[in-house]
Amino acid sequence: MNSEHHASHRPNSTLTTTMAVTRSAALKLDWTKVSTSLGLRGQTAASLAAFKKRNDDARRKVQVLSEQPQSIDFEHYRSVLKNQAVVDEIEQHFKSFKPATFDVNRQLKAIEAFEAQAIKGAEETKGKVELELQSLEKTLANIETARPFEDLTVDEVSEARPDILEKTSQLVSKGKWMPPGYKERFGDLSFL
């Protein structure tokens, strides 16, 4: 009987150990650091925040339940109640009660799927941010190395903005030597 009890206790012991390790890991997890270090935004950040809230709620419930008394003083109830049969029956049910065990593999798989989705979203965000940073660095380098506008040549402007050269060619081919609105804006320079 003793070996049966010990053998049937092993799965619970393994589950208890696994839960303790998981709880320890969850307590050590810095949720803010996870979000900021991975640069999570949008849907991924919202999903992680919702998951953290569920985790915190579950941890609070476990804490409240673990603080409640775990044993029943049946002798006290025998001394205060006249109907001893009721106390005996309840004690028998209490002693024969076996808590239900749950297979948590489904929840663990859901957590793993969530984690995989979060990592995928973070990697996509990271890739987009890196591309944007490269573009911004290139733009910044162009700004820093650019010559003043008055030092630019017509060839350099047309190379940078081919649309200006194209528009100018169209105007000249139509016999228009000034861009529309130039005289109104800058005045007539023909008297110089």
The tens digit of pLDDT for each residue in 154-166 reads 888 888 888 988 8
The stretch 177-183 carries a mean pLDDT of 75
The reported pTM is 0.34
Higher pLDDT pick, 17 / 62: 62
| pLDDT > 70? residue 13 | no
Classified as helix, coil or strand, 191 is: coil
Predicted confidence at residue 5, as pLDDT, reads: 39
Bigger pLDDT: 44 vs 23: 44
Confidence of residue 4 (pLDDT cuts 50, 70, 90): very low
C-beta of residue 171 within 8 angstroms of C-beta of residue 177: yes
Categorize the per-residue pLDDT at 1 as very low, low, confident or very high, splitting at 50, 70 and 90.
very low
pLDDT, average across residues 63-80: 84
Return the pLDDT at 19: 57
Higher pLDDT: 54 or 178? It is 54
From residue 151, how far is each of 43, 60, 84, 173 by CA, in Å?
Answer: 48, 69, 106, 28
pLDDT for 82 equals: 87
pLDDT at residue 9, as a whole number: 39
pLDDT of 6 reads 40
- DSSP characters for 45-104? HHHHHHHHHHHHHHHHHHHHHHHS-----HHHHHHH-S-HHHHHHHHHHHHH--PPP---
